[in-house]
Amino acid sequence: MKFDRAAGQNPIDQLHVVGHPLDRIDGRFKTTGTAPYAYERHDVVPHQAYGYIIGSAVAKGRITRMDVARAKAAPGVLAIVTTLDMPALKNGPMNTAKLFGGPEITHYHQATAIVVAETFEQARAAAALIETEYDHDEGQFDLKQAQHAARPVQGANGSRADRVGDFERAFSASAMRLDETYTTPDQTHAMMEPHATLAAWEGEKLTLWTSNQMIAWTRRDIATALGLSKENVRVDSPYIGGGFGGKLFLRSDAVLAALGAKAAGRPVKVALTRPFIMNNTTHRSATIQHIRIGTDRDGRITAIAHESTSGNLPHGRPESAIDQTKLLYAGANRLTAMRLAVLDLPEGNAMRAPGEASGLMALEIAMDEMAERLRMDPVHFRILNDTQVDPEKPGRPFSQRHLVECLERGAEKFGWSHRKARPASVREGEWLIGMGVAAGFRNNLLTKSAARVRLDSQGIVTVETDMTDIGTGTYTILAQTAAEMMGVSIDQVRVVLGDSDFPVSAGSGGQWGANNSAAGVYAACVKLRESVAKKLGLPPAEAQFSGGNVHVGNRVFPLGQAAHEGELVAEDTIEYADVDKRYQQSTFASHFVEVGVNGFTGEVRIRRMLAVCSAGRILNPKTARNQVLGAMTMGSGAALMEELAVDTRRGFFVNHDLAGYEVPVHADIPHQDVIFLDEVDPLSSPMKAKGVGELGLCGVAAAIANAVYNATGVRIRDYPVTLDKHLAHLPRMS
């Protein structure tokens, strides 16, 4: 199905099932422990052995010798594969760091061997017996030091920066100016479920039961790495216990499980340990962001520049922290640019809302600082600088843009009018109280997605697609879509996900999953409806589907009757033309936060949070709310505690477990609320929906930082906002 114009009235608009806050259909499996996660696929293949992966003890250099004799002789050991046993495996297009093979070491904990044994404990014990010697090279691990040698990243027009108008001249002539630098640290995904894979071979055919967000990418890239045809690889990932972008790509658990299984002649399961996850897989790269804003005396932005520097391995990509600044606020004269420093740290790559999450941490503090210089309310300042067109391409309007409504609704609901503009002016006992606001922004990405739907004689509809559910409610949303389209209740729909034998979907990532995968199911159901009508001798254009029946005038047939001679099957793909090129498609939010800061200890406590989201039709308000609440919590961690500490001598992340890398817990977030604007976006898809999960994260950290400033009068521009950064500057407590 081609989507090349605004969606008109369609069966989804009935909203009999879609749009309702239904419970997750997979919830009972998760709460009873019967959901099959990757490491727990005990029933799919017999005689499973255990693999334990070893990582490099140096960050840069070469392995000169590996002695595995003692390890091979250890109890229970079935096979050992080392990186010296083969040349470097070929990377697919999504990987930067090498995954295995050859002596060269480019980052700490790069995989160097897998030990396969009858038990996990035997594999781990034998791994400790392997002796490895290195030629160690000096590396660069400090972004602040490396920033001066960072190279410009080519802009959209091929230059070193993207420009509109004459920023330097306009900034110099501005009545009010801001020129500040902000930093964000390296961060890790810290998902609950580790990277895990069970691999089994049958001849030259490989099956991976794994924890992965993007099935088709992983199938392609494991085939590339191992020199297999794609048809000889099956990837199965029906349940994922958290990903946040860390499981978008093929990682060493899958590669080494496959190599270990081949060497042992047995199925092999591998789960990465927490320190190995943090140093071997991917993370969000630290940034140094330089922001300049110029306004006229009335507060209208006349010049805005956002330049960001981040680091990565050679041939890696930057943390694109400037993305939202291209689109969020008006301003005739604009400059955005990125620089990339070569660092010998583990690979920097996608983490929830890559680019916008870190970029808004800086931009939305800068907007507050500018508002204060103008003696203007920060909500009003943002509203004043709203735009309904792409600021870099004024002839390109937004498909929907309700940022102003998000800000106004949020301010009213949160009681913003009670905020005191003068910092450190509200106290409750030993607590300093402050409110903060920030805008949220995340682009709506359109990508083709396919599905297959089946109808049996009992009227049961089965949906098959390689789409994954990473805790986002995908099972439920796709069931709602099929139920709405086929006129049945949700308990008459069966959804099967995550298998590469199924049609290729959008996958889970980038906030594109729900809208696109549901649109793929919609397209397949359109075909199935046509088949059903023809089987029943009805004109497809007139057939109505409801209550488990098919209606045309006074003629009524049970849906299942169409399949009484055999199952009906339909498959289709939603494919987008240039709608997203003609209209800028984005999602928007406002975030409001109230904090208390202890005037004696500097401890920060979040008291309440509110998000108001504009994201098209909300397919399931309950699962969408869950996503936004989780994202707000994740943003709280980014604001107040999350930071990978880099050992700048040895090149590794020191706090590489959940004891040292702190994340928020329930007690840290006492009250949260979410409001979804009632809107549809017919230019997005036939579902008229958009993504929302990452939007809930974008801007939260800055709202918290702004609230801390309002409470204390101490401006912190280097995340996380920890008490050591403001304790000495807090106002005197009487």
For 463-512, how does the pLDDT look when each residue is reduced to its tens digit (9 = 90+)? 999 999 999 999 999 999 999 999 999 999 999 999 999 999 999 999 99
| Marked catalytic residue, from 347, 484, 642, 694 | 694
For 128-138, how does the pLDDT look when each residue is reduced to its tens digit (9 = 90+)? 999 999 999 99
Q: Residue with structure tokens 């980052």?
A: 107
Phi, psi of 30 (to 5 degrees): -70, -40
356 flagged as catalytic: no
159 confidence band (pLDDT: 50, 70, 90): confident
Question: What's the mean per-residue pLDDT of the chain?
Answer: 97
Q: Whole-structure pTM over 0.95, yes or no?
A: yes
222-256 b/e with 16+ CB inside 10 Å = b? bbbbbebeeeebbbbbbbbbbbbbbbbbbbbbbbb
- The second-level CATH assignment, the architecture, of 2-35+446-578 is 2-Layer Sandwich (3.30)
For 82-127, how does the pLDDT look when each residue is reduced to its tens digit (9 = 90+)? 999 999 999 999 999 999 999 999 999 999 999 999 999 999 999 9
Instruction: Give DSSP secondary structure letters for 516-558.
Output: HHHHHHHHHHHHHHHHHHHHTT--TTT-EEETTEEEETTEEEE
* Strand positions, DSSP E, 221-315: 233-236, 268-271, 287-295, 301-312
Rounded distance between C-alpha atoms, residue 211 and residue 241, angstroms: 8
At 462 the pLDDT is: 98
For 57-74, how does the pLDDT look when each residue is reduced to its tens digit (9 = 90+)? 999 999 999 999 999 999
Work out the percent of the chain whose per-residue pLDDT is above 70: 100
Rounded distance between C-alpha atoms, residue 38 and residue 193, angstroms: 9
Q: Specify the pairing of strand 672-676 against strand 604-614.
A: parallel
Q: Please check whether the two domains, 2-35+446-578 and 395-444+585-729, share a CATH topology.
A: yes
Contact call for residues 455 and 597 (beta carbons, < 8 A): no
User: pLDDT at residue 158 above 90?
Assistant: no
31 SS3 class: helix
User: pLDDT at residue 609 above 80?
Assistant: yes
Domain ranges, ordered by start, for the chain? 2-35+446-578, 395-444+585-729
Q: Which two tokens stand for residue 690?
A: 């958009």
| Domain 395-444+585-729, classified CATH 3.30.365.10, yes or no | yes
